[in-house]
Amino acid sequence: MQNPSFTPENPTTKSRIESRPNPHDRLNLSRVEFHNRYTRQIEQESIYGEGFLRWTYGNPLGRLSLHALVKRAIFSRVYGWLMDQPSSQKRVRPFIDRFQLKESEFLDPVINFKSFNEFFFRKLKPSARPIHADETVVTFPADGRHLAFQDFSCCPGIFAKGQVFTLAELIQSENLAQTYARGALVISRLCPVDYHRFHFPTAGKASAPQLIQGPLQSVNPIALAQNIRILSTNRRCLTELSTPNLGKLLMIEVGATCVGGFVYTFKPNSTVSKGDEKGYFRFGGSLTMTLFEPGRVQLDADLLENTHRGLETYAIMGDRLGQAAPR
């Protein structure tokens, strides 16, 4: 299903897993797993700040600190400010080495990054993320681990069986929720080690982003398995894209702990091409969602199968997530 012209290295793998338990039980264990589209293996995620994350969401004192401080915007603003300071530059090389990032993909040399945040939202060479050329193909808006639902109204659960959220709660509009209620949904979760710029998955006219305020909790599965409503209550932005082949689709950027804001680099209410940059996240893990009108897109089979098994699929921006459905 992937773009055959490109096979990237996976930057977040600790080891390959040959066997695994019931998918709905996996997030209760000590590891977070995903399916790598390119190696075709189930792999274990290497989690930045894993100890703090597990303490925050798995310990009573940690949960108390979450509600008292961590999910509040001031925590992420202060942390983001620290990552903007020149002293944070010393974190860059150890981070690259620990997570084995591919420096040859970077547009700028590492020495040019004056802070950790500059490194975090780095640009890549165009050759590092080729855009699928077929006009009928829809591409991933961001690098990450993806879940896919052909009809979200039939979703049995996200990250944990029986856990769902309502579209009305997510997008704060009953009318808009009805438009997309039986449509396809792709959730793309970015880790701190990922390329953190996000792009348009197809051509069209993009509206101005609409901000919905909320807290900033982690979007790692460790946290989401505890409370999936994080996705529908965190600070988020909505952009509607009117397209020639897919009708309208909704792009949603969701903030997370230590993500102080979204920075948009496109011109609102303008026509964009597939693969054009939309913006970037500042420091921290984060997440995007792409909602399609019913019957407009056929999501790729490997995404749907892995999601059914309780697994995210690792794939990169520009690779295909599906194709426009025949009309």
pLDDT digits (tens, 9 = 90+) for 145-166: 999 999 998 887 776 666 788 8
Q: Does 218 qualify as catalytic in the annotation?
A: no
259 compared with 327, residue with greater pLDDT: 327
Pick the most confident of 34-43, 158-167, 187-196, 226-235: 34-43
Let me know: does 191 contact 117? Beta carbons within 8 Å: no
Compute the distance between CA of residue 258 and CA of residue 166 in angstroms, rounded to an integer.
25
Q: Does 199 qualify as catalytic in the annotation?
A: yes
Least reliable range by pLDDT among 20-24, 146-150, 190-194 = 20-24
Let me know: does 218 contact 56? Beta carbons within 8 Å: yes
Rounded mean pLDDT of the chain? 81
282 compared with 194, residue with greater pLDDT: 194
What type of residue is 42? I
pLDDT at 3 over 80: no
Q: Which of 150, 153, 146 is nearest to 167 (CA)?
A: 153
Give me 138's structure tokens.
């829809």
Please tell me what DSSP assigns to residue 91: G
Predicted pLDDT of residue 7? 39
Secondary-structure percent of the chain, ordered helix, strand, coil, rounded to 5 = 30, 25, 45
Predicted pLDDT of residue 43? 93
Predicted pLDDT of residue 227? 74
Least reliable range by pLDDT among 57-66, 103-112, 199-208, 305-314 = 57-66
117 compared with 30, residue with greater pLDDT: 117
Give me 184's structure tokens.
């396809």
pLDDT at 28 over 50: no
Predicted pLDDT of residue 258? 54
Phi, psi of 23 (to 5 degrees): -60, -30
Distances in whole angstroms, Cα of residue 281 to Cα of each of 67, 168, 184, 321: 23, 25, 24, 21
Among residues 35, 132, 199, 218, which one is catalytic? 199
Q: Is the dihedral of CA 262, 173, 140, 94 positive or negative?
A: positive
Give me 36's structure tokens.
């790598």
Please tell me what DSSP assigns to residue 66: I
Instruction: Count Cβ atoms within 10 A of the Cβ of residue 181 and give its class: 0-12 exposed, 13-18 middle, 19 or more buried.
Output: middle
User: Which stretches of 106-254 are DSSP H helices?
Assistant: 116-120, 167-171, 174-180, 221-224, 230-233
Q: What is the mean pLDDT of residues 206-231?
A: 81
Q: Strands (DSSP E) along 118-172, which ranges?
A: 137-139, 144-149
Quick: pLDDT tens for 119-151: 999 999 999 999 999 999 999 999 999 999 999
Among residues 143, 194, 300, 319, which one is catalytic? 143
Phi, psi of 112 (to 5 degrees): -75, -15
Q: Does 153 qualify as catalytic in the annotation?
A: no
Let me know: does 296 contact 275? Beta carbons within 8 Å: no
Distances in whole angstroms, Cα of residue 48 to Cα of each of 16, 45, 193, 307: 18, 9, 8, 24
Let me know: does 247 contact 296? Beta carbons within 8 Å: yes
pLDDT at 200 over 90: yes
Please tell me what DSSP assigns to residue 147: E
pLDDT at 107 over 70: yes
Q: Sketch the domain layout of the chain as residue ranges.
A: 1-327
Give the angle 52-235-13 at the CA atoms, nearest 5°: 45
- For the chain, give the percent of residues with pLDDT over 90: 58
Give the angle 194-123-133 at the CA atoms, nearest 5°: 85
Predicted pLDDT of residue 19? 34
